[in-house]
């Protein structure tokens, strides 16, 4: 019997697009990532890694982080 795989959950992250108000990005695996109103919100670890490495995107602080300031 095989062991069940555990799904890794990541808290939703918000990224601000510094270049475009709306556009569609495509990952290498063909998935589309829409930008709407300068924003991308995702909990997909592959999308987060892609956006972290893209110069046009800045990760926004989580709501709890900004409340602590």
pLDDT by position in tens, the chain (length 69) = 566 655 566 789 999 999 999 999 999 999 999 999 999 999 999 999 999 999 999 999 976 544 444
By DSSP bridging, strand 32-35 and strand 23-26 are antiparallel
Query: Residue 23 is part of which domain span?
Result: 13-61
46 lies in some domain = yes
44 lies in some domain = yes
Alpha carbons 69 and 50: distance in angstroms, whole number: 28
1 lies in some domain = no
The tally of domains found in the chain comes to 1
Cβ atoms 17, 56 nearer than 8 A: yes
pLDDT at 69: 46
Q: Strand, coil or helix: what is 35? A: strand
């Amino acid at each position: 019997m095989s062991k069940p795989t555990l799904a890794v959950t990541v808290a939703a992250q918000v990224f601000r697009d510094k270049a475009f108000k709306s556009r569609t990005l495509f990952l290498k695996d063909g998935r589309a990532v829409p930008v709407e109103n300068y924003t991308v919100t995702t909990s997909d670890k592959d999308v987060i890694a892609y956006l972290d490495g893209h110069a046009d995107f800045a990760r926004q602080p989580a709501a709890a982080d900004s409340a602590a300031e």
